[in-house]
Structure 1
Amino acid sequence: MPSDIRHQTDRPAAAALPDGIPGVVILGGAHGTLALARSLGARKVPVWLVSNDTPLPGWSRHVRARFAWPGPGAAGAVDFLRELADTRGLRGALLVAGGDAEVRMAAQAAEVLAQTYRMTLPPWERLKWVCEKPLLYRRAAELGLRIPLTYEFASLEQAAAADLTFPVVLKPNMGGGGSRFSQAKVVRADDRAAFLSAYADAAGQIGADNVVVQQLIPGGGECQFSYAALWDQGEPVAEFAARRTRQYPIDFGYTSTFVEVAEVPEAMEAARLLLRAIGHHGLVEIEFKRDPRDGLLRVLDVNPRPWSWFGLAAAAGVDLGGMIWDVANGRPAPPATAQAGTAWMYLVRDMVAAVRLGSKGRRATGGYTRSLGSVRAWAAFAGDDPLPGLMDVPLTAWRVLTRRILR
């Protein structure tokens, strides 16, 4: 119950701001949520974090309190959030989902939650068409957008009989699950034996219908691009594109490690087409990969939440975190253009990625020293908010140890 939960501070119930909204309640997330809290804090907007995962964003001086809860998959998740609003004076606050599981829960309960909070997501009946990969690829193909070669299997027997072109990757149909496969996000298989072993393991964890199998598009981070934006009722408020130049692992990233603003007009056009088709509302990042075999972009994934390199937006001059507050209060967001070449870095993992690239003879694009000189935002560190940056290294080491090595 909200009255029993652990929290960082015990401040009085929030008084309404001049805008009439008590503040922002963020559900889950990690580095993207931290960057969002900093953007809002710069505008003196009170921020509350509700999380059952990493404590990283809660160490920010811009987060007024962090509330622990059973998580978005718990039976009483919606009731928890509604009671939290009533007991902490947060009725009418803006609710932002910071993780994949939180997105699903909030969108599925949008009608009920909208009675207590202001929402930043469309209802699930529209959002599922970009969140669930099989539906995303179906809708993208209908719109004439390119996707990776994708195989559909309903059983291990069908998978074993299929004629595949290797290497392939296996993915969960949507992120945010608690299984080993969901946590890994992507599993690579270079031959039939490896594929059948991986498929059987994944299907045993999340069900065969929830395992997506695709041909691996060659190339690393230098081929990966993203569209980042804030949308309001089916139209973009602010948007820009970026190259996810380095990632970890280096061939198909669990997370981006070096991202820089770039001109990618075909990604902008494809993203607008896809998001208008569902009448999107709120934050969104769409991942693309350019296939070096034909030079064309293919849609990989859609993240309707703060993404890991969300801090790049404010650093580049397009403060999507601040703009979401403007939109919620019915104000037009100021026009903004992202400064080309501005970069974001996840230093700890990027150093590992650079070493791995060097060991394979794949030099970091433009040189590693040059890339450091373009960084204007870091995954966790900020001079005026240092604690998350100090805690990120031991926290990352602990998560790698417990979630990857020991498991």
Structure 2
Amino acid sequence: MTRRSGRSTSATVGAVVIGGDYQGLGIARSLGRYGVPVVVLDDEHSIGRMSRYVSKYERVGDLRDAAYTVRTLLDAGRRLGLDGWVVYPTREETVAAIAANRDDLLGSFRLVTPGWEAVRPAWDKRETYQRAERLGIPIPRCWFPSTRQDLAEVDVSRPVILKPAIKEHFFYETRAKAWRADTRAELEQAFDRATAIVGEGEMIVQQLIEGGGDRQFGYGAFFKDGAAVAEMTARRLRQHPSDFGRASTYVETIDEPELAKHSWKFLQDVDYYGLAELEYKQDPADGQFKLLDVNARTWGYHTLGYAAGVDFPYLVYRDQLGLPVEPVQARAGVRWIRLATDLPNAAKDLRARRLRLGEYLKTLRGIDAEAVFSLRDPMPALYEIAMLPYLAVKRGL
């Protein structure tokens, strides 16, 4: 493609997807169905490269480095003639890099990522919980210890979890989202291990909300001008790993207005624009839906939206081009699964007797969307099967 001066016309505006895993693949399919050209940039081997909807795939260096990410994006724009294309990041660190360098990128791209002031409350979980509490959004009880001595203030009469304020600093070293502690000694040991990785002042202690997938929920939206243009509420019935899941593996859309009410309050307060998912867990102690996480990007199961009548990536693409977008809400009762993680995780739960085989098999009937498999675009699923050993080592799937 030759480089053009000025912004692309709506007939030729494509998309740059940063990250080609199943989440990025879903974005490429969403846009590719409408003939939108898609370029994927990734620092890992990924299934997105095999999709018929990906026009070009480039393997690049470490996208965990913000400065490198911005340079790589600008360089790809110049070399490939991507002026005015729409950029979709798929991981927290690339979201943060784009948000923090938004002014430098806007001259070359259209950005579905809002500015840093809107992204920071999702990036730093300390601010997530402090802002939510100020807004009256229920959260688990939290402590923010700066030193080991601060742990004396933590109530360990009930189990707690230790989690990072900034997920990426901790996750890439441990492959864990959080660690559980049932006693003060366990908490102190976990804190020592964590601070050896990320340093003091970046850990959160949070009261554990008991319960499994029947109590895990998510609210996804395309949010603009203080309101949801498109929205979806879901029950995240299974996740991988089962205790503190890095990603959902089996999800069903539901009707639950309470989640929308809390989510709107948070997104309005930060003047949010773009795609976002807010994660909740219903506390059996008081029945409240308590906010656990905010993702300022597409989320793993966003392709459930397409099956339920809400094509999130394409809607925000239309908005970026100034095309009309009608308000839409996902219909309830639609089911999504990612078999590559759901099956092995279910096997572990069956061995641990946390799951019954008959109950599990029953949930596999009537699946409306699979994260990767598609008859119209079969190669990514075949490639994923071949990549399973690599994914298990690189990402823990």
Distance 1:365 1:245, change over 3 A: farther
Counterpart amino acid of 2:187? F
CA distance, structure 2, for counterparts of residue 261 and residue 14 of structure 1: 43
- 1:129 equivalent to 2:121? Answer yes
> Cα deviation per residue 1:210-244 (whole Å; 9 max; x = unaligned)?
21221111011110000011122433110010000
> Cα deviation per residue 1:85-118 (whole Å; 9 max; x = unaligned)?
1221101111111111001100001111111111
Correspondence 1:176-191 to 2 at 5 A = 176-177=168-169, 180-181=172-173, 183-191=175-183
Match of 1:299 among 259, 276, 291: 291
TM-score normalised by the chain length of structure 2: 0.92
- 1:53 equivalent to 2:38? Answer no
Secondary structure, counterpart of 1:176 in structure 2: helix
CA distance, structure 1, for counterparts of residue 245 and residue 49 of structure 2: 25
Counterpart amino acid of 1:126? A
61-70 or 140-149, which deviates more: 61-70
Secondary structure, counterpart of 1:382 in structure 2: coil
- Determine if contact 1:223/1:289 at 8 Å carries over to the other structure: yes
Correspondence 1:224-303 to 2 at 5 A = 224-303=216-295
- 1:212 equivalent to 2:204? Answer yes
- 1:41 equivalent to 2:37? Answer no
CA distance, structure 2, for counterparts of residue 268 and residue 157 of structure 1: 39
Match of 1:346 among 335, 338, 345: 338
1:86 paired residue number: 78
Counterpart amino acid of 2:57? R
1:199 paired residue number: 191
CA distance, structure 2, for counterparts of residue 389 and residue 229 of structure 1: 27
Paired residues in the alignment total: 394
109-118 or 73-82, which deviates more: 73-82
Shift, 1:352, TM fit: 2.9
Shift, 1:359, TM fit: 4.2
Shift, 1:83, TM fit: 2.3
Correspondence 1:133-172 to 2 at 5 A = 133-159=125-151, 162-172=154-164
Distance 1:348 1:384, change over 3 A: same
- 1:73 equivalent to 2:65? Answer yes
2:13 paired residue number: 22
Counterpart amino acid of 1:218? E
Shift, 1:14, TM fit: 7.3
- Determine if contact 1:166/1:189 at 8 Å carries over to the other structure: no
- Determine if contact 1:160/1:196 at 8 Å carries over to the other structure: no
Counterpart amino acid of 1:138? Q
Shift, 1:65, TM fit: 1.3
CA distance, structure 1, for counterparts of residue 108 and residue 32 of structure 2: 22
191-200 or 173-182, which deviates more: 173-182
Shift, 1:398, TM fit: 2.2
1:102 paired residue number: 94
> Cα deviation per residue 1:280-307 (whole Å; 9 max; x = unaligned)?
1111110000001111100000111121
Secondary structure, counterpart of 1:170 in structure 2: strand
Distance 1:262 1:185, change over 3 A: same
Correspondence 1:302-317 to 2 at 5 A = 302-317=294-309
CA distance, structure 1, for counterparts of residue 78 and residue 27 of structure 2: 24
TM-score normalised by the chain length of structure 1: 0.90
Shift, 1:182, TM fit: 5.8
CA RMSD of aligned residues (A): 2.4
CA distance, structure 2, for counterparts of residue 265 and residue 73 of structure 1: 39
Match of 1:322 among 284, 289, 314: 314
Distance 1:89 1:402, change over 3 A: closer
1:3 paired residue number: none
- 1:369 equivalent to 2:361? Answer yes
Distance 1:248 1:138, change over 3 A: same
CA distance, structure 2, for counterparts of residue 28 and residue 65 of structure 1: 13
Shift, 1:53, TM fit: 2.8
Distance 1:95 1:364, change over 3 A: farther
Match of 2:375 among 377, 383, 387: 383
Shift, 1:49, TM fit: 1.0
Secondary structure, counterpart of 2:55 in structure 1: strand
Secondary structure, counterpart of 1:38 in structure 2: helix
Shift, 1:191, TM fit: 2.5
Counterpart amino acid of 1:339? R
- Determine if contact 1:219/1:251 at 8 Å carries over to the other structure: no
Shift, 1:166, TM fit: 4.0
Shift, 1:179, TM fit: 5.4
Counterpart amino acid of 1:389? A
2:109 paired residue number: 117
- Determine if contact 1:99/1:176 at 8 Å carries over to the other structure: no
